[in-house]
Homo-oligomer: A and B are copies of this chain.
Amino acid sequence: MKNPEDDVVLRLNESLRPAGRTLFDVPRVGWITGWLSTGVFVLVLALAGAWQPAVAAESGLSPDPVRVEVLLGAATNGTVARLRLAEMCDTFGPRFSGSTNLEGAIDWILARLREDGFENVRGEPVKVPHWERGEEWLEQVEPVPMRMPVLGLGGTTNTPVDGITARVLVVTNFAELESRAAEARGRIVVFDAPFTAYGETVRYRGAGGSAAAKVGAVASLVRSITPFSLQTPHTGMMSYEAGTARIPHAAMTVEHAERMRRLQERGIPVTLRLRLGARQWPDADSRNVVAEIRGREHPEEIIVVGGHIDSWDVGQGALDDGGGCLAAWEALRLIKTTGIAPRRTLRLVLWVNEENGLAGAKAYPRQHADELARHVLAVESDWGIGPVQGFAFTGSGRANEQLKALLPWLGLIGAGQIKAGAGGSDLGPLLHEGVPTMDLWTDKRDYFWFHHTAADTVDKVDPGELNRCVAALAVMLYGVAEMPEALAR
């Protein structure tokens, strides 16, 4: 597949004479307009004086500052990641585990990866759960009849075909539910917990069903986990505590949760009727997507980078996590197209089933058990495609010291920060096996407005921000793949 900016990159690449050059005295004719267009040029000029000592190095060094410069220019001016993201999202729609959409998208990616010239392109078999949303509705019976948006949560049990009809008890948090436990019996509990931080508020989505069941509720509804809503329901996983009754658990909108709380405060009874009718099918065949750039000196030393290719079953999964997948893929593609042959192996892994089971993340270490000791680093981008800030890292102090050498370059695109603590979701099983892990750190900004909704669509991805994510990943991956000494565990 021939991409528009490949020409530019290759031309620049050919004109490079690495020896004797520094990052800041390479001819800039080709990419100067690119820097200008991304608004970074002024920053570059401003920082050049201060940071030159850190980055001015004779070329031939590992990593090579000239290569980094070319990567940054190519990434920040690219269009491929955005175009491919749009094409994938528009062609296949949501990529939920067990769906034909997902398998179509995986086939499409595998074909593109082969066209790109990656090595060892393959889908590694993973059995994934196959839950399918069915008939769903939520209506108010009193005080006035109306329909409301609703999304059943992943893993919820169903209602009878006619739904469950019951009075509502609105609570703000678990403590209030406990203090009003006597009122909860036979009710539909509504958790109207205002969004604070995702990790805090999502507890009501995950554990609300069992908490409500323990006090005798017949169903529970959670205010969608978001700081902003246009009557927007947000789905996501929930789970049942062992030994408690399994009651239906679904997400409603912020607006209606707040409205019911106000009605309750005015002493006006609210009765709802909830219908959830999902199907749980036998586990389905799916795949982790894998592709490589084999290392020129230490092919056995592996740096993994990726995102998760599955999404929820609403929207397009553009931010969660199509953008992360495309950013990782594009970073490796640009390393290839700019002619870099890295010292170590760079491996793209697009895990499957992050959203409702982590089957891909669990399968990968099993299927690569013999390689895990030589996994130098595993990087994931799964926090949306907001303004890139840098990386979160979990690894040794010595590794942190080694990574510092890359910060001046990352700083050129505003990504020159490394904070502690990475390794969520897909990286968890690798972290458990002792692999150093890293998250792309983006400003989550309005990410949770769209997260797990029908509005997680490709128009929400800012092309400039996506490009800066690509740039940050490309520099980090090339840097770690090229260091003379492998990142210390």
Interface code A107-147, partner B: CB below 8 Å = 1, 0 otherwise? 00000000000000000000000000000000000011010
Q: A453-B231, A457-B255 are in contact. Are A93 and B262 (CB under 8 A)?
A: no
Most buried by B among A90, A449, A458: A90
A contacts with B, residue count (CB < 8 A):
31
Q: A230-B229, A230-B449 are in contact. Are A90 and B457 (CB under 8 A)?
A: no
CB–CB B450/A87 < 8 A: no
Chain B residues lying within 8 Å of A232, measured Cβ to Cβ, are 230-232, 455
Chain B residues lying within 8 Å of A266, measured Cβ to Cβ, are 87, 90
Question: A259: CB under 8 A from chain B?
Answer: yes
Question: A86: CB under 8 A from chain B?
Answer: yes
CB–CB B230/A91 < 8 A: no
Chain B residues lying within 8 Å of A229, measured Cβ to Cβ, are 230, 455
A272 to nearest B CB, angstroms?
15
Q: A449-B230, A454-B231 are in contact. Are A255 and B146 (CB under 8 A)?
A: no
Interface code A77-121, partner B: CB below 8 Å = 1, 0 otherwise? 000000000110011110000000100000000000000000000
Interface code A137-167, partner B: CB below 8 Å = 1, 0 otherwise? 0000001101000000000000000000000
Most buried by B among A231, A315, A453: A231
CB–CB A459/B258 < 8 A: yes
Question: A263: CB under 8 A from chain B?
Answer: yes
CB–CB A263/B90 < 8 A: yes
List which A421-444 residues lie within 8 A (CB) of chain B: none
CB–CB A262/B86 < 8 A: yes
Question: Measured between alpha carbons, how far is A143 from B229 in the docked complex, in Å?
Answer: 30
Chain B residues lying within 8 Å of A143, measured Cβ to Cβ, are 91
A87 to nearest B CB, angstroms?
7
List which A239-296 residues lie within 8 A (CB) of chain B: 254-255, 258-259, 262-263, 266, 268
Considering only CB atoms, which chain B residue lies closest to A89 in the complex?
A: B259
A427 to nearest B CB, angstroms?
30
CB–CB B90/A262 < 8 A: yes
Most buried by B among A143, A232, A255, A315: A255
Question: Measured between alpha carbons, how far is A3 from B355 in the docked complex, in Å?
Answer: 50
Chain B residues lying within 8 Å of A86, measured Cβ to Cβ, are 262
Question: Measured between alpha carbons, how far is A234 from B36 in the docked complex, in Å?
Answer: 38
Considering only CB atoms, which chain B residue lies closest to A449 in the complex?
A: B230
Considering only CB atoms, which chain B residue lies closest to A263 in the complex?
A: B90
Question: Measured between alpha carbons, how far is A91 from B449 in the docked complex, in Å?
Answer: 28
Contacting A459 at CB < 8 Å: which of B92, B255, B449?
B255
CB–CB A259/B91 < 8 A: no
Chain B residues lying within 8 Å of A231, measured Cβ to Cβ, are 232, 315, 453-455, 457
Considering only CB atoms, which chain B residue lies closest to A256 in the complex?
A: B457
A138 to nearest B CB, angstroms?
13
Chain B residues lying within 8 Å of A144, measured Cβ to Cβ, are 91-93, 101
Most buried by B among A86, A230, A449: A230
Chain B residues lying within 8 Å of A454, measured Cβ to Cβ, are 230-231
Considering only CB atoms, which chain B residue lies closest to A266 in the complex?
A: B87
Interface code A57-76, partner B: CB below 8 Å = 1, 0 otherwise? 00000000000000000000
Question: Measured between alpha carbons, how far is A259 from B86 in the docked complex, in Å?
Answer: 9
Chain B residues lying within 8 Å of A92, measured Cβ to Cβ, are 144
A240 to nearest B CB, angstroms?
30
Question: Measured between alpha carbons, how far is A144 from B88 in the docked complex, in Å?
Answer: 13
CB–CB B90/A255 < 8 A: no
A71 to nearest B CB, angstroms?
28
A389 to nearest B CB, angstroms?
24
Considering only CB atoms, which chain B residue lies closest to A257 in the complex?
A: B459
Chain B residues lying within 8 Å of A450, measured Cβ to Cβ, are 230
Question: Measured between alpha carbons, how far is A420 from B231 in the docked complex, in Å?
Answer: 36
A92 to nearest B CB, angstroms?
8
Q: A87-B266, A91-B143, A263-B90 are in contact. Are A455 and B230 (CB under 8 A)?
A: yes
Contacting A254 at CB < 8 Å: which of B90, B268, B449, B459?
B459
Q: A230-B454, A231-B457 are in contact. List 7 more A-B contacts (CB 8 A).
A: A86-B262, A90-B262, A229-B230, A230-B449, A230-B455, A231-B315, A232-B232
A residues with a Cβ closer than 8 A to B are 86-87, 90-93, 101, 143-144, 146, 229-232, 254-255, 258-259, 262-263, 266, 268, 315, 449-450, 453-455, 457-459
Cβ-closest 8 pairs across A and B: A230-B455, A230-B230, A231-B454, A255-B457, A230-B232, A231-B455, A258-B459, A90-B259
Mind listing 15 A-B residue pairs with CB under 8 Å? A87-B266, A90-B259, A91-B268, A93-B144, A230-B230, A230-B232, A230-B449, A230-B450, A230-B453, A231-B315, A231-B455, A231-B457, A232-B232, A255-B459, A259-B458
